[in-house]
A and B are shown apart, each in its own frame.
Chain A
Amino acid sequence: GCFVFKPSTKKRRFSDKTAHDFRCTNNDSEDTELRFVTCQSLWNQIKSETEQIQENLNKQLLDNLVSFLSRSHSDFQEKTTEWTCRMKFREIPTAALVLGVNVTDHDLTFRGLSDVLQDNITPYVALLEAKDCPGIKNLMQKLMGQLMNCDIDVDSLEDEDCVQVSQNRIRCSMSSLISWYDSVTKKTDSETPSKKRNSSSRHWQSPPVVVIFKDMESFTTKVLQDFIVISSQHIHELPLVLIFGIATSPMIIHRLLPHSVSSLLCIELFQSLSCKEHLSTIIDKLLLTSRFPFKLGEKVLQVLINIFLYHDFSVQNFIKGFQLCIVEHFYSQPLSVLCCHLVDMKKRVYSLSHDQCENIRRLPSFRRYVEKQESGKQIELLTNDSFLKEETEKLLEDLHVYHENYVPILRCLHVFTSSLPKYPLGKQIRELHCACLENQVWETEEYESSLQLARMLNKTDLVTMLQQCVEILMSSSVKEFDKAVEKLKEFLTQFQNLEEASQERDVSVSPQKELQKKTDLYHLQKTLLELKESRRSKKLTKFEMLRFEVVDYIDSLVRRYLVPADNRTLHEIVYFNAAAVLRGHLNAAPRTALHTALNNPHWYLKNQALKCDGGGISNKAPDICIVYKLHLECGRLINLVDWLEAFSTVVMAAEEPNADAASSDQVDDVIHARFIRAVSELELLGFIKPSKQKTDHVARLTWGGC
C-alpha cells in the first residue's frame, strides 16, 4: 500500500522554494516576489508578537509555579533524616494547573513552563502525555528516557551511545531511577566547579525532579495511582514534584484518584488565564492597532471569532486562521504589494507598473472615488499613471490616518458602551469593532438605544468615562485629537463647576420645604398642580444639558471617525474580505458537499440534462445519484433485487425511452455492473453496509429521506 518515490537526481531544494511556489502560481507575475517577502515579514512580525503576548500572559502563572517548586523541596536540601520530616515526605508536592478546555493551546504553555524550569530550577524535567503511557511500565520508560537525556544535555557528554545503551539495559524501576539520581547528583557534587558549574550553577545542589502530566484527564486511573503510590514510597530519596495539567476542573483529581492515593499528594492549585481573555488581548494587540498594515474585514473576523467561540476556544487556531488570511490576501490580491508600512509605501507606489495602475483603476472603491471627482481630474486619473500614483499615495496616507484615528475613537466609544445596562453594542471591544466595520454604526438601532442609555448615565460614571476617554486620546498621540481632548477636558471642568453650583443651589430653598409651610387645602392643590405642570414641561437642568452635549459630542466623533472601512477608497488593498474562502478552508462541511453532489449534481456538472428544479432529480443523473435517491425511499434494510430493478427501470428509461418489453425481463449486464459500482461507492461513502439479517439485503446507515 505504500510507495516511496525518490527523484532520480537528488536535487537539493532551492533556498526560496516557497517563494517560487508563490511566484509560479500567479498568472500576472506582478511584484510577486516583493509581495511574498512582505507577506512573510508581516507574518513573522505577527508571530513573534503573539508569542510575546502569550509569554507575558503566562508570566504570572510561571512565576507562581517556580516559587512553588523552590519552596516545595527546600526541606530536602537540608537533608534531615528526622522521623517527622520523613513522615511529611510521604506526601508528594503537586501543582494542579487548571488550563481550560482549549487543549490545543496547552502545548505552548507547557513548552514555556519546561523552559523556565530548566533555566531556573532543575535540569530534570519530564513531560508525559497520556498517549505515550498506556501502562506503568511505559510511563517509567518514558520518564527515565527523558530524565537521562536531559542529563546528557546538561553535562554535554560525548559518549552518547554509552548512555543510550544503558538506557535500554537498565530495568525501568524506581530504584534504578533513584540510583541514577544519586549518581548524577554525586557527580555534580564531586566534580570541580570549573567545568559544570557554568552551565548549571543556577540549579541547586540536589535539584528536584519535575514530572509534568500534560493531560491528566486522559491518563488511565491505574497508571496514575500506581505511579503516585510507588513514588511516594521513595520521596525521601528522590525529590519528586508532580505537575498536573487539567483541562476541566480540579475536581477531576479526586474523581480519578481514590482518597488513599490523593492523600499522598500535597496539592496546590494554579489557574491559568482564560482563553477568552487571551483572545481579547490578541485582538487588541493585533487588530486594534495601526502597527500592522494588514486588516481583517468584518465577515472574516466574524468567522474567526465564531470558530473560536463555537468550536474550539483555541487561540492557536485563531492565529492560524489569521495566518491563512494573510497568505490568502497577499496571494490573491496583486495590489497587496502596497499593504506595507508607510515608510516603504512611497517607493512602492512609484515603482508600480502600468498593469498595476490598471489594477488600481479597476478597484470598485477607486471607481467610486473617481466618479466623485470633476471631469478634468477624472480623465487625469484614468489616463495618467504618474498622476494616479500621486493620488494613490495620498489616498493610502489618508487610509493610514483613518486607521490611526479609528482605534482611539473606537476605544472611547467602547468605554461608553461597555458600561451600559444590557450592553446593546456588546461587552467586548471586538463586538463593537465588528459592528463598526459592518456598516455605519450610527445608523443601527443598537447604537441609537445605547445613546439613549448614555443620556441617562449618572454624573460620576460620566465623569470617569470622560477621564478614561481623555487618557485614551492623549496616549494615542495623534495630533488631530488635541482639539477633542481639549473639548473633553472642558466638559470635565464644566462638570466640576456644575458640582459646585449645585451645592450652592442645595442650600437655596427647596420646594418641599415650601410645601410644608402651606396648610391651606386650596393652595396646596394649586402648588401641587404647578409642580406637576413644571415637571411635565420641565426645563432641563444644567447637568442634563451638559450630558446631552457630551453625548452629542461623542456621537459627532463617532460619525466622523468610525466610518466603515468599506467606504474608504482603496480599502481593498489592506482589508481581507473573502470570508467564504476562509470558512471553506477552516470550517468545512464535507457532509453537505456530499449531500449537494448527490441530490443536485447540476450544482457541479453544468449540463442542461441535469437541470431539475424542485428537489427532484433527473433520470439522466450519474448512477450514484440515482442509486442514492432510490435508497432514500427505503427503511432500515434495502433489498438489493428491488433496488437493482428500480435502478434499471430508471436507467433504461433514460437511455432508450421506447425500449421493448423483451429486454426488460433480463437486466442488462452493463446496467448490472453499473449498479454494483454505484452500490459499492455508496458503501465506501458510508451510507450503507452489508447486512446478514436477511439474504441479499444491505442496511442503511443514515436516517431520513426525500
Chain B
Amino acid sequence: MSRPEGMRSSRRSLQVKFVSDEDVLKHISDDAGTKVRKEKAQLSVSVKRFVKKLENISDNEAQEILEEKNYVASLGICAQDPVGNGSNISGGEVYSFQTPKRSNKMAELASELAQTPEQNVAPDHSKCPEKMAKTPQNSSNFMWAEIVWKCHLKKKEFVSTTPYRLRKRLAAPDPYLESESEYSTSCSEEEDEEEQKEVSTVMSDQKTPAKAKTTSAPPPRNSLAKKKKEQKMSNLVEEYFEAHSSSKVLTSDRTLQKFRKRRLNQQTLHDLLKNAPLAYAAEIRDLNRQHESLFSKWMLQLHLGFNIVLYGLGSKRDLLEKFRTSLLQDSVHLVINGYFPSITVRSILNSITEEVLDHIGTFRSPLDQLEFITKRFKEDSSLELYVLIHNLDSQMLRGERSQQILAQLSSLPSIYLIASIDHINAPLMWDQAKLSLYNWLWYETTTFNPYVEETSYENSLLVQQSGSLALSSLIHVLHSLTLNARGIFRLLAQHQLEKKDNPSYPGLSFQDFYQQCREAFLVNSDLTLRAQLTEFRDHKLIRTKRGADGVEYLLIPVDDSTLTDFLEKEDEDV
C-alpha cells in the first residue's frame, strides 16, 4: 500500500475508532460520579458529614464511599490556595499500579518530546500540537492493524471477540504476517537494538519526516495492546497479572562499554556540570526568594516549640545554609550533613556533648549519652541549640533507632530542629510516637536546585569509581599488621592480579596458598596461616568461598586497579 492512502484512511478512522484511554476513563468516572450523586440525593437525609461514620457503625457501603469522597473533598480544600503546593492531585495519579511496558516506548516518547519545539512556537494552539504529535504514532498503529486485518481476512478466521491471548497466539506464527509485512512479531534483542539505532539516527536527522521513523518503531505487541484496550476494559485484569507475573525483563542488552563511552570520573563530572548553565536560573531564584521570606516565621515557630521539616524537589541545602548565615550567626548551632556516607547518630551526639556542652568523657551507649544531654539541657535553661540536618532521611540516619534518638533530642524544649527530607518514602520513617516527639511543621520548599553535594557521595553507576577510599582503608589496616602478615597478603594480591584476565578465577585455594607461604618463609604451620587468615577476614580484607569440590578459595574483594595501586604503594614503602 502506498503511504498517502494509509495516511488518509488513518485520519478518517481517527475520528471513528480511536478513543484515548483518558477519554474512556473520564467517561467511566463521569458515570460513577452521577451514580454517587444520585445516591447522595437519596441518602441526604441519613448522611451529611462523614465524621459521623465513626459513631455510626451501621452505615452501609454506599455511604462509606460517599463519606470517603467527602473526606477527600474536605481535605482537598487547599486546591484553590495561592501559595500553590502541588497537593491538588489525587492519590491515584501518584500511586498507580504497574502497567506492562513495551521495550522501546522510551525512545518513542523521546522522539515525541524532541518534536515539540516546533509546536511551542505557537503556544496558543496548544491542543493542536499535541494531536499532531500523536498522529504519526496512531497512523502507524492503524497501518499495522490493517495488515493484520487483511491477513486474517485471508485466513477467514478473524473473530472480533477472540480474546487477546488467543489472538496473539494466532498472530504470532502467522506465516503470512511474517512474509507479507516487514514487521516481525518477535522481540529479539538484536532486532530491538537495530531498530533503536535506526530510530536514534533517524531522530537526530530532522529532515526525515516523523512518520518514517515511527512506522518502524512500534513492534506488533504495541498495536495489539492498543486494540485490546479499545475492546474491553476487562482485559485490564489480565494485563495486570501479565505485568506482574513475568519475571523476565525485556530490555535491550546494550551496555555502556559497547557504547564507546568512557566513564566520567567524579572530578570531570563536576567540572562539566559547573560549566553547563543552569536552566531557568531566574525562576529558580524567584522560587528561592519566596522561601527565604519565611525565615523569620520559621524562627518564631521554632521558638514556640515546633520543629520544621522541609520537603519538595530540589536541594534544600543552600536554603538552609542561607537560613543559618542570616539568622543563626549569634547562636550556637549544629549543622549535620545527613547525606555524608559515614554519619552516625553517635557522631551527632558526640559533637553535642563534646563541643556544645564541653564534656570530656565517653558514654556506654547512645541512650546514656542522650540522657546526659537531656539532663544538661533541662538543668541549664540558658542553653539552647539550633540543629540543622540536611537530609534527615539519608541512608545512615533513616534507621529506627537513629530516628528515635533524634526525635527525643528534638523534643527537648531548648533544642530547635530544622531538617530537610528528599526521599519519596521518607515520611514512612516516623510512626505516631516519633511524629509527636518531632512535633513537625511541614513546609514545602521546592527549589529545583540540583543536588550537587547530596549526590556527590552517592556511588553513581555511571561514575567511575576512583577507589581511593578502599585503597586508603586497605593500607591503613595493613600498616597495623605484622610484617609477615603483610607478606601473606601481598602474595595473595599478586596471585590475584596474575589471574585478573581470567573471569572465572575462583580464588586461590588454601592448600596452594599455604604451600606458597611456606616457600616464602612466611608461616611455619597450617595453624598460623589459618590464624592470620581469620584476622584478615575479620577486617574484611579477604573473602573465602567453598568451591564445588569442597576446597576453600581465598579472594580479595577489591577491584584490580585498586589492588595494583596498593601493590605499587607497598613497593614504595618497602
Interface pair A641/B255, CB less than 8 Å apart: yes
Q: Which of A590, A603, A659 has the most CB of B within 10 A?
A: A590
**Interface membership of A423, Cβ < 8 A:** yes
Bound complex: CA of A466 vs CA of B107, how far in Å?
75
Against A, the Cβ 8 Å flags (1 = close, 0 = not) of B344-377 are 0001101110011000000000010000000000
Interface pair A603/B86, CB less than 8 Å apart: yes
Chain B 112-141 residues near chain A, CB threshold 8 A: 113-118, 120, 123, 126-127, 130
Given A6-B332, A635-B251: A591 and B424 within 8 A (CB)? yes
**Interface membership of A310, Cβ < 8 A:** yes
Interface pair B312/A593, CB less than 8 Å apart: yes
**Interface membership of A411, Cβ < 8 A:** no
Q: Which of A1, A323, A434 has the most CB of B within 10 A?
A: A1
**Which of these, B127, B303, B340, contacts A21 with CB under 8 Å?**
B303
Bound complex: CA of A616 vs CA of B131, how far in Å?
11
Interface pair A676/B111, CB less than 8 Å apart: no
The residues of A that contact B448 with a CB separation of less than 8 Å are 597, 601, 604-605, 622
Given A435-B49, A592-B94, A619-B116: A684 and B130 within 8 A (CB)? no
Interface pair B332/A7, CB less than 8 Å apart: yes
Interface pair B86/A596, CB less than 8 Å apart: yes
The residues of A that contact B441 with a CB separation of less than 8 Å are 324, 585-586
The residues of B that contact A604 with a CB separation of less than 8 Å are 84, 86, 283, 287, 446, 448
Chain B 404-448 residues near chain A, CB threshold 8 A: 404, 421-427, 432-433, 435-436, 439, 441-444, 446, 448
Bound complex: CA of A634 vs CA of B422, how far in Å?
23
**Interface membership of A111, Cβ < 8 A:** no
Q: Which of A11, A132, A430, A669 has the most CB of B within 10 A?
A: A669
Interface pair A324/B259, CB less than 8 Å apart: no
The residues of A that contact B351 with a CB separation of less than 8 Å are 2-4
Interface pair B200/A649, CB less than 8 Å apart: yes
Interface pair B458/A583, CB less than 8 Å apart: no
Given A597-B312, A613-B126, A616-B130: A690 and B343 within 8 A (CB)? no
Distance (Å) between the CB of A187 and the closest chain B CB?
Answer: 26
Which of these binds chain B: A253-261, A354-362, A696-704? A696-704
**Which of these, B206, B352, B427, contacts A659 with CB under 8 Å?**
B206
Interface pair A605/B280, CB less than 8 Å apart: yes
Bound complex: CA of A698 vs CA of B203, how far in Å?
25
The residues of B that contact A24 with a CB separation of less than 8 Å are 296
Against B, the Cβ 8 Å flags (1 = close, 0 = not) of A313-357 are 010110010011001000100000000000000000000000000
**Interface membership of A617, Cβ < 8 A:** yes
**Interface membership of A667, Cβ < 8 A:** yes
Bound complex: CA of A593 vs CA of B88, how far in Å?
9
Given A1-B338, A2-B343, A323-B304: A641 and B86 within 8 A (CB)? no
Bound complex: CA of A604 vs CA of B264, how far in Å?
32
**Interface membership of A600, Cβ < 8 A:** yes
Bound complex: CA of A132 vs CA of B408, how far in Å?
12
Against A, the Cβ 8 Å flags (1 = close, 0 = not) of B239-268 are 000010000011111111011110010001
Distance (Å) between the CB of A378 and the closest chain B CB?
Answer: 31
Distance (Å) between the CB of B447 and the closest chain A CB?
Answer: 9
**Which of these, B74, B311, B436, B460, contacts A588 with CB under 8 Å?**
B311
**Interface membership of A234, Cβ < 8 A:** no
Given A449-B45, A590-B312: A680 and B332 within 8 A (CB)? no
Interface pair B455/A703, CB less than 8 Å apart: no
How many chain B residues sit at the interface, stated as a range, is 35 or more
The residues of B that contact A445 with a CB separation of less than 8 Å are 44-45
The residues of B that contact A666 with a CB separation of less than 8 Å are 260
Chain A 284-307 residues near chain B, CB threshold 8 A: 299, 302-303, 305-306
Interface pair B251/A694, CB less than 8 Å apart: yes
Interface pair B56/A423, CB less than 8 Å apart: yes
The residues of B that contact A437 with a CB separation of less than 8 Å are none
Q: For A681, give the chain B residue with the smallest CB separation.
A: B451
The residues of B that contact A17 with a CB separation of less than 8 Å are 303
Distance (Å) between the CB of A600 and the closest chain B CB?
Answer: 7
**Which of these, A434, A605, A638, A647, contacts B110 with CB under 8 Å?**
A647
Interface pair A22/B300, CB less than 8 Å apart: yes
Interface pair A685/B251, CB less than 8 Å apart: no
Q: For B279, give the chain A residue with the smallest CB separation.
A: A622
Q: Which of B96, B110, B435 has the most CB of A within 10 A?
A: B110
The residues of B that contact A591 with a CB separation of less than 8 Å are 94-95, 424
Bound complex: CA of A426 vs CA of B51, how far in Å?
8
Against A, the Cβ 8 Å flags (1 = close, 0 = not) of B66-99 are 0000010011011011011111010001111111
Q: For A667, give the chain B residue with the smallest CB separation.
A: B261
Distance (Å) between the CB of A328 and the closest chain B CB?
Answer: 9
Given A635-B251, A673-B276, A684-B455: A642 and B196 within 8 A (CB)? yes
Interface pair A428/B55, CB less than 8 Å apart: yes
The residues of B that contact A697 with a CB separation of less than 8 Å are 251
Which of these binds chain B: A393-401, A503-511, A520-528, A623-631? A623-631
**Interface membership of B159, Cβ < 8 A:** no
**Which of these, B110, B273, B432, contacts A314 with CB under 8 Å?**
B432
**Which of these, B101, B251, B300, contacts A705 with CB under 8 Å?**
B101
Interface pair A640/B462, CB less than 8 Å apart: yes
The residues of A that contact B105 with a CB separation of less than 8 Å are 633-634
**Interface membership of B15, Cβ < 8 A:** no
**Interface membership of B204, Cβ < 8 A:** yes
The residues of B that contact A151 with a CB separation of less than 8 Å are none
**Interface membership of B402, Cβ < 8 A:** no
The residues of A that contact B461 with a CB separation of less than 8 Å are 640, 679, 690, 696, 698
Which of these binds chain B: A80-88, A236-244, A650-658? A650-658
Distance (Å) between the CB of B194 and the closest chain A CB?
Answer: 13
The residues of B that contact A18 with a CB separation of less than 8 Å are 300, 303-304
Q: For B341, give the chain A residue with the smallest CB separation.
A: A1
Against A, the Cβ 8 Å flags (1 = close, 0 = not) of B493-523 are 0000000000000000000000000000000
Interface pair A7/B331, CB less than 8 Å apart: yes
Q: Which of B249, B313, B334 has the most CB of A within 10 A?
A: B313
Q: For B105, give the chain A residue with the smallest CB separation.
A: A633
Bound complex: CA of A131 vs CA of B75, how far in Å?
34
Interface pair B110/A614, CB less than 8 Å apart: no
The residues of B that contact A590 with a CB separation of less than 8 Å are 311-312, 421, 424, 426-427, 442, 444
Given A637-B251, A652-B204, A667-B261: A679 and B462 within 8 A (CB)? yes
The residues of B that contact A683 with a CB separation of less than 8 Å are 455, 458, 460
The residues of A that contact B256 with a CB separation of less than 8 Å are 640-641, 696
The residues of B that contact A596 with a CB separation of less than 8 Å are 85-87, 89
Interface pair B51/A305, CB less than 8 Å apart: yes
Bound complex: CA of A449 vs CA of B254, how far in Å?
70
Bound complex: CA of A635 vs CA of B423, how far in Å?
21
**Which of these, B108, B264, B334, B421, contacts A2 with CB under 8 Å?**
B334
Distance (Å) between the CB of B61 and the closest chain A CB?
Answer: 16
Distance (Å) between the CB of A586 and the closest chain B CB?
Answer: 7
The residues of B that contact A672 with a CB separation of less than 8 Å are 261, 264, 272, 462
The residues of B that contact A203 with a CB separation of less than 8 Å are none
**Interface membership of B569, Cβ < 8 A:** no
Interface pair B206/A658, CB less than 8 Å apart: yes
Distance (Å) between the CB of A250 and the closest chain B CB?
Answer: 21
Interface pair A431/B49, CB less than 8 Å apart: yes
Interface pair A427/B52, CB less than 8 Å apart: yes
Interface pair B45/A641, CB less than 8 Å apart: no
Interface pair B347/A614, CB less than 8 Å apart: no
- 21 contacts across the A-B interface (CB closer than 8 A): A1-B336, A4-B356, A303-B74, A310-B71, A596-B87, A598-B313, A609-B120, A614-B130, A626-B113, A633-B108, A634-B106, A635-B101, A639-B254, A640-B462, A642-B254, A673-B268, A674-B276, A684-B451, A685-B422, A685-B424, A704-B95
- By Cβ-Cβ distance, the 8 closest A-B pairs, closest first, are A596-B86, A704-B96, A664-B204, A653-B114, A588-B442, A580-B78, A1-B340, A580-B81
- Give me 7 other A-B pairs in contact (C-beta within 8 A), A593-B446, A598-B313, A686-B423 excluded: A584-B83, A610-B280, A634-B101, A645-B107, A684-B423, A690-B461, A705-B96
